[in-house]
Structure 1
Amino acid sequence: MEGFNTSAAIPMSTFSTTTTSSCSSGTNITTNTTTTLNPTSPWMDSRIWSKLPQRLIDRVLAFLPPPAFFRARSVCKRWYSLLFSDSFLEMYLHISPRCYWFLFFKHKSLKSYIYKSGNSGGGDDRDNCEGYLFDPNECTWYRLPFELVPSGFSPASSSGGLICWVSDNAGAKSLILCNPLLKTVTQLPPTLRPRLFPSIGLTVGASSIDVVVAGDDLISQFAVKNLTTESFHVDGGGFFSIWGTTCPLPRLCSLESGRMVFVNGRLYCMNYSPFSVLAYDIAANEWSKIQAPMRRFLRSPSLVECRGRLVLVAAVEKSKLNVPRSMRLWGLQGCGTTWVEVERMPQQLYAQFSEAEAGKGFDCVGHGDFITITIQGTDMVLLYDFYRKAWQWIPPCPFIRRSVGGEGGSRSTGSDGGGGGGLHGFAYEPRIVTPAIGLIDQSSLPFQSFNG
């Protein structure tokens, strides 16, 4: 079967795992867990398992989440080889349940990181060599290495099991697509226009990849302006465009450097001063502007994707109607121009959140039924479950070093080295197969590939 990149051998230590009991518990206990099965149990009777058809066993294995699948590969040679079996990977694509997880990096803000990197020669550069994968259903953290990503790149976007990394230096931007489970790294050609801190949008389908780079055009050595958009496209039909599709941004737009959110064929990003939402139609190659709700009273607005719809999350600071300050969620309606409030954080919880946030600002990421709200400069993350209509604090990541003697002594405050540390999150679906990347690896286009 074509399109699969299975040349990389996957070490059994791909995941380091820690399970934290009770996501919503007031006192969280972090423990390393090991599960053992009694060999005398009737469920382990070899006479039962030896008679199961291999095809049925493969279907069971295809339903395992990636961490469990990689552990299962150590059972026997045949299970180990499943990662290199085209028939198994094809079945995995069709029946494996989706994992709506989140990937966090201990990452300084892009601008402060770049300014610092010019002075220190990249001493702190390799902090991005590992990510922290969070399963919101099981409240489990996993450590995920990114040692194959070269220095001088920062994570910018994610889709379809791939993480997009962008070069830090000003100028033509280099982008890398990485699957941390398969240990593959593929570098795209540099953009045509020089940029400083552009917004990056990525959408990966079963047989296509689209990357959009917008804004922060370098018009001189000392000045930037939000002028243009560049698009990269490759698909299974043999069509490709290497940054050849360009589109002007709306006049007087003010993009905050960051990621875009993909929903139903469009990429969305926030526009500032005053707040509005910019929408880029990939097929039509054009931008449009959508008015934001209560735009004069919003603070730290973020766009997220949940259940296939666009959701705006923001704090409301004041209102003409004397409505108390709150955290609100609005959903964009099918007409594409109007918003409807879908949820509001309980007032008692918002008071607690505001005290912890203390004006630092926050970032939001949505995936499936979940939204994470991360207080900037810290590792404090609030989780909202759309299905259960429940808010809860995520247990702290056990793999992150914490400063000693801080307030409470249990949370990182970002005071270790300036620049405002903390967690920077992405929606991430771990996949043991990403067939779309094969469109790049098998093409004759001038790409560079790095396989571990």
Structure 2
Amino acid sequence: MDRAAPEGLSCRKGAVLDAKIWNKLPEELLERVLLYVPLQTLARFRCVCTKWNKYVLEDGFTDLREQVSPQKPWVVMTSTSNSMFAYDSGLGTWHDVPIPFNAYNLHVVAAAGGLLCFSNAWFHGPSMFVCNPMTQKWRQLSPMNTWMISTVGMVYDDATATFKVLVCGRLENHTMITEVYDSQSDGWTLSGTPFPARKYGGDTSLWCDGIFYCLTYPFSTLCLLSYDLSQGTWREVPIRMPSPIMSPSLVESRGKLLLVGGLEEQEVFGIQIWSLDTVKQEWEELERMPSQLCKEFEAKMVPSKPLSCFGTGDSIFLSIPTNNYMPALMFDLKRRTWDWWPVSDFPATLPAVNIGQSCGISFEPRLNAYV
């Protein structure tokens, strides 16, 4: 095989790689190198030759890479019609990632299995696109019946390499409907009767242990709703919610459902994380943000734009929407540590379509997520 030398690999600055050596690199050594290469670089390596492209997409390689150098989540914070800005929590850097279609007036509304779902969800007659930003593969979903979206969710099935998108909203006559898109059939199916429109409070429905979850609106009457995809039914989960709670958000972590929000007790602001005990059917306190960090976080908050929370894997992110730099704290569930993400390289301004709507969504980028 006439193999080109991989871009970006050198023993010192300015060194030229000897093609005679790299063209004869043993397969086992090549595998070891690729196991530790950053994901974005690995995505570029796919263009070297057909064999490399096939190799990095094989299940055996991707499984081994997950064991050797597990991919930490990225956070998509903002997007334009051409690209999106994402934070790589593993490398602690920002990436400007191209969008393979015209995303004018679109923004990310859901993520699952390495795929991102884009939509103009806050416009009448919404449309949807799903893409893998690492492979630049994408598809536009067939038209839906929903005229105005209330909440949207997404799930990816590794066994079948297919995905489904849940949309709950209303028709033009204000009738509430639920639709589910199946990538295998490339079509929408009406499924389940939703609750009244005022019930749905968040942009995103969260997938956890086979069920979609979302919170109600207004948050003064906070409760937890669930949608069983296999049964096509909605229900209100009979569980007492912490009260009062400011800017509540749901987060999924390793099969567990978490609730994050602000509390104000005796005029002292705090941020707390709860975990859902499915046996006792109650929220149990998992973590509280240290008081000094809470003071720093509160000082950066904008009254008209409450905090936004999202997460995946072992990471939870709490951001403060602003018109320029968006401060955010990261909480590592394994290490139980808090850190501010870096200020440098953040975009100078944020597109208006993101302000007051989705203020961040996290996902785990993958090369073997198929659109």
TM-score by structure 1 length? 0.69
* Deviation string, structure 1 residues 67-93 (Cα, Å, up to 9, x no partner): 23246568xx5xx43453268533333
Structure 1 Cα separation of the partners of residues 12 and 103 of structure 2? 45
Structure 1 Cα separation of the partners of residues 291 and 140 of structure 2? 47
Determine whether 1:99 maps to 2:57. Answer: no
Task: Give how far 1:324 is off.
Answer: 4.0
Structure 1 Cα separation of the partners of residues 225 and 196 of structure 2? 11
Question: Match of 1:249?
Answer: 194
Structure 1 Cα separation of the partners of residues 104 and 285 of structure 2? 42
DSSP 3-state at the match of 2:102: coil
Structure 2 Cα separation of the partners of residues 181 and 105 of structure 1? 17
Matches within 5 A, 1:376-387: 376-378=321-323, 379-387=326-334
* Deviation string, structure 1 residues 237-285 (Cα, Å, up to 9, x no partner): xxx4822241111357521250111111111111123011111111121
Task: Give how far 1:389 is off.
Answer: 0.9
Question: Match of 2:138?
Answer: 185
Question: Match of 2:154?
Answer: 202
Q: Percent same amino acid at aligned positions?
A: 25
Question: Match of 2:215?
Answer: 270
Given the superposition, is the C-alpha separation of residues 136 and 347 from structure 1 closer, same or farther in structure 2, using an over 3 Å criterion? same
Structure 1: tracts of 5 or more residues without a match: 1-11, 14-33, 108-126, 403-413, 438-452
Question: Match of 1:21?
Answer: none
Given the superposition, is the C-alpha separation of residues 155 and 45 from structure 1 closer, same or farther in structure 2, using an over 3 Å criterion? closer
Task: Give how far 1:51 is off.
Answer: 7.4
Given the superposition, is the C-alpha separation of residues 59 and 264 from structure 1 closer, same or farther in structure 2, using an over 3 Å criterion? farther
Structure 1 Cα separation of the partners of residues 204 and 128 of structure 2? 14
Could you tell me which of 61, 64, 69 is aligned with 2:34?
A: 61
Structure 2 Cα separation of the partners of residues 424 and 66 of structure 1? 24
Give the conservation status (yes or no) of the 8 Å contact 1:132–1:142.
Answer: yes
Question: Match of 2:259?
Answer: 312
Structure 1 Cα separation of the partners of residues 227 and 89 of structure 2? 30
Structure 1 Cα separation of the partners of residues 229 and 280 of structure 2? 15
Give the conservation status (yes or no) of the 8 Å contact 1:82–1:88.
Answer: no
Structure 1 Cα separation of the partners of residues 18 and 132 of structure 2? 37
Structure 2 Cα separation of the partners of residues 371 and 419 of structure 1? 20
* Deviation string, structure 1 residues 113-137 (Cα, Å, up to 9, x no partner): xxxxxxxxxxxxxx24222222223
Given the superposition, is the C-alpha separation of residues 248 and 423 from structure 1 closer, same or farther in structure 2, using an over 3 Å criterion? closer
* Deviation string, structure 1 residues 215-256 (Cα, Å, up to 9, x no partner): 2x0343xxx46x221112245xxxx48222411113575212
Given the superposition, is the C-alpha separation of residues 150 and 53 from structure 1 closer, same or farther in structure 2, using an over 3 Å criterion? same
Determine whether 1:348 maps to 2:292. Answer: yes
Give the conservation status (yes or no) of the 8 Å contact 1:228–1:247.
Answer: yes
Determine whether 1:228 maps to 2:177. Answer: yes
Structure 2 Cα separation of the partners of residues 353 and 257 of structure 1? 22
Give the conservation status (yes or no) of the 8 Å contact 1:157–1:163.
Answer: yes
- Larger RCO of the pair (alpha carbons < 8 Å, separation 6+): 1
More deviation, 418-427/58-67: 418-427
Question: Match of 2:308?
Answer: 363
DSSP 3-state at the match of 2:199: coil
Given the superposition, is the C-alpha separation of residues 128 and 278 from structure 1 closer, same or farther in structure 2, using an over 3 Å criterion? farther
Amino acid at match of 1:81: T
More deviation, 376-385/84-93: 84-93
Given the superposition, is the C-alpha separation of residues 294 and 354 from structure 1 closer, same or farther in structure 2, using an over 3 Å criterion? farther
Amino acid at match of 2:77: F
Amino acid at match of 2:42: F
Structure 2: tracts of 5 or more residues without a match: 1-5
Task: Give how far 1:201 is off.
Answer: 0.6
Question: Match of 1:7?
Answer: none
Aligned residues: 355
TM-score by structure 2 length? 0.83
Could you tell me which of 220, 225, 235 is aligned with 1:288?
A: 235
Give the conservation status (yes or no) of the 8 Å contact 1:303–1:313.
Answer: yes
DSSP 3-state at the match of 1:96: helix
Structure 1 Cα separation of the partners of residues 122 and 52 of structure 2? 36
Structure 1 Cα separation of the partners of residues 210 and 357 of structure 2? 32
DSSP 3-state at the match of 2:360: strand
* Deviation string, structure 1 residues 148-202 (Cα, Å, up to 9, x no partner): 234343321111121111235745432211112222220111112x322331111
Task: Give how far 1:295 is off.
Answer: 4.0
DSSP 3-state at the match of 2:130: strand
Give the conservation status (yes or no) of the 8 Å contact 1:260–1:267.
Answer: yes
Structure 2 Cα separation of the partners of residues 179 and 139 of structure 1? 21
RMSD after superposition: 3.4
Give the conservation status (yes or no) of the 8 Å contact 2:206–2:251.
Answer: yes
Question: Match of 2:3?
Answer: none
